[in-house]
Amino acid sequence: MSKRKICVLTGTRAEYGLFYPILKEIQKSSSLELQLVVSTMHLSSEFGLTYKQIEEDGFVIDGKIENLLSADSKSAIAKSTGLATILLSDSLTRLNPDIVLVLGDRYETFAAASTAMLLNIPIAHIHGGEITQGAVDEQIRHAITKMSQIHFTSTETYRNRVIQMGENKANVFNVGAPGIDNIVNLKLLIKKELEEELGWEFGDKSALFTYHPVTLDISNAEEDIANILENIKKSNLNVLFTYANADDSGRVINNKIELFCQENPQKYKIVKSLGQLKYLSAMKYVDILIGNTSSGIIEAASFSKPVVNIGNRQKGRLQSDNIFNCEIKDISLNIKKAVSFDNTNIVNIYGDGRTAVQIVKILETMDTTIIKKFVDKDK
C-alpha cells in the first residue's frame, strides 16, 4: 500500500520552527511520506539562507521556490506572491501530493493554498481562526481557511470561529499550537553555551526583541523603529535582536537595527536567524520580550516571560496573563512594569506540547475526498 504524500510548504525561519515537530512526526509515520518545498526568505542570503538549516536538521528539500524580490514595497510583495504561484504550480504538479499542509498567514502561504486549490489538491491549514487586526495577514489567514478542507486550530475559540466561517465542524480540530511542542521536546542550550555561540552576553537584565512591519498601519515604519530603539536605549537592557520578516518596510526596520547595534555591540546584538533552538533558548534566559511577534503571544507564556507587545499587529489574538500591550509612546513605562513582573503561575492557553502527534494522526486517517460545502450557522 502506497504512503499518503503530505507536501509541506514553508517560506520563513519562524514558520519552519513551528513546522519542525510536525515534520519529525511525519517522518516517523509508517503511512505518510513527507514532501518539503521551501520558498521566499529561506533562499535569501539577506535573511540567512535558512534552507541550509532545514537540510542540517535532516530533511530532504523536494522543491526550492525563488520568489523573493529585492524591492521593499507593497508592489514587490504582490509580485513575489504571483511569482510564487507560478513556480509552485510546477512543483506541486510534479510532486502530486495527496494533501498540502500550510501554516499561518503569509503571502507565500496564500500563494501555496491558491495553487493547491486550483490543482484540486486538498489543503490542511494550521493556525486558522485567529485575529491580528494590524496586519494584512488577517485577510490572508481567513482566505486560506476558506480554501482549506482540514483545519488545525490552536484554541477552542479559534475552532469555533473557523466553524462560524461556514466550515464543517467535523473537519476542524483544536490541537493547540505546534510552537509549544518545541518548548516541551527540544533540549535547550545552557546559558553559557548560547552566549558563546552568539558572541554576546545577556548581562544583568536582558530582552529578546522581534518587531515586524505593521502592514495595515499608515504610520512611518522608519520613524516608528527609531522611536522604539530610543526607548530601548533608555531601558539600559542588554538586547538580542532578530530580523523582521520580508514584508513591506521589513528592510527599513532591519537596517535601522543593524546601525543601532553597531553603536554598542557589547549591549546589543542582531542575528538574522537564530533558528528555533537558539531562539527558544534565548527566550528562556532573557528577562522580558519586546516587539510585536506572535511568539510573544503564544510561546512566551510557557516560560512565564513577560512580554511588551507593541502596537496593533497582534491585536485580537487571545493572550495569557504575561502580556503588556502598549503603544510606542508608552514603551519605557511598560518595560519597567515587565521587568518587575511577578511571573509565577502563568498558564499557557495554547496547548500542552502534543500538537504534532495529533496533527499527524489526523493526516494519517482523514478522508481526502472532502467536498467543501458552506455550512450555515444554524446547522
Domain boundaries, given as residue ranges, for the chain? 4-176+353-365, 188-339
Residue recorded with cell 518548548: 183
Spell out a b/e string for 305-328, using b for 16 or more CB atoms within 10 Å of the CB, else e. bbbbbbbbbbbebebbebbbebeb
C-alpha to C-alpha distance for 267 and 278, rounded to whole angstroms: 18
CATH number of 188-339: 3.40.50.2000
Q: What is the reported pLDDT for 46?
A: 86
C-alpha to C-alpha distance for 77 and 15, rounded to whole angstroms: 18
Q: What is the reported pLDDT for 102?
A: 98
Among candidate residues 277, 286, 283, the one with its CA nearest the CA of residue 296: 283
Cell matching residue 49? 539562507
Among candidate residues 255, 336, 323, 256, the one with its CA nearest the CA of residue 292: 323
Spell out a b/e string for 89-127, using b for 16 or more CB atoms within 10 Å of the CB, else e. bebbeebebbbbbbbbbbbbbbbbbbbbbeeebbbbbbb
C-alpha to C-alpha distance for 364 and 290, rounded to whole angstroms: 39
Q: Is 349:318 a contact under the CB 8 Å cutoff?
A: yes
Superfamily of domain 4-176+353-365 in the CATH hierarchy:
Glycogen Phosphorylase B; (3.40.50.2000)
Bridge partners (DSSP) listed for residue 36: 8
Q: What is the DSSP string of 5-66?
A: EEEEEE-SHHHHHHHHHHHHHHHH-SSEEEEEEEEGGGG-GGGT-THHHHHHTT----EEE-
Q: Where are the alpha helices (DSSP H) in the chain?
A: 13-28, 51-56, 74-95, 107-118, 137-147, 156-164, 178-185, 191-198, 221-235, 250-263, 275-285, 294-298, 331-339, 355-365
Q: What is the reported pLDDT for 217?
A: 66
Cell matching residue 238? 542588554
C-alpha to C-alpha distance for 195 and 12, rounded to whole angstroms: 24
Q: How many CA atoms lie within 13 A of 325 on its CB side?
A: 13
C-alpha to C-alpha distance for 128 and 161, rounded to whole angstroms: 9
Q: Is 241:268 a contact under the CB 8 Å cutoff?
A: yes
DSSP 341: -
* Local confidence pLDDT in tens for the 379 residues of the chain: 689 999 999 999 889 999 999 999 999 999 999 999 999 999 998 888 999 999 999 999 999 999 998 777 889 889 999 999 999 999 999 999 999 999 999 999 999 999 999 999 999 999 999 998 877 889 999 999 999 999 999 999 999 999 999 999 999 999 999 999 999 999 999 999 999 999 999 999 999 999 998 866 667 888 999 999 999 999 999 999 999 887 777 889 999 999 999 999 999 999 998 989 999 999 999 999 999 999 999 999 999 999 999 998 898 899 988 999 999 999 999 999 999 998 767 889 998 899 999 999 999 999 988 889 999 987 5
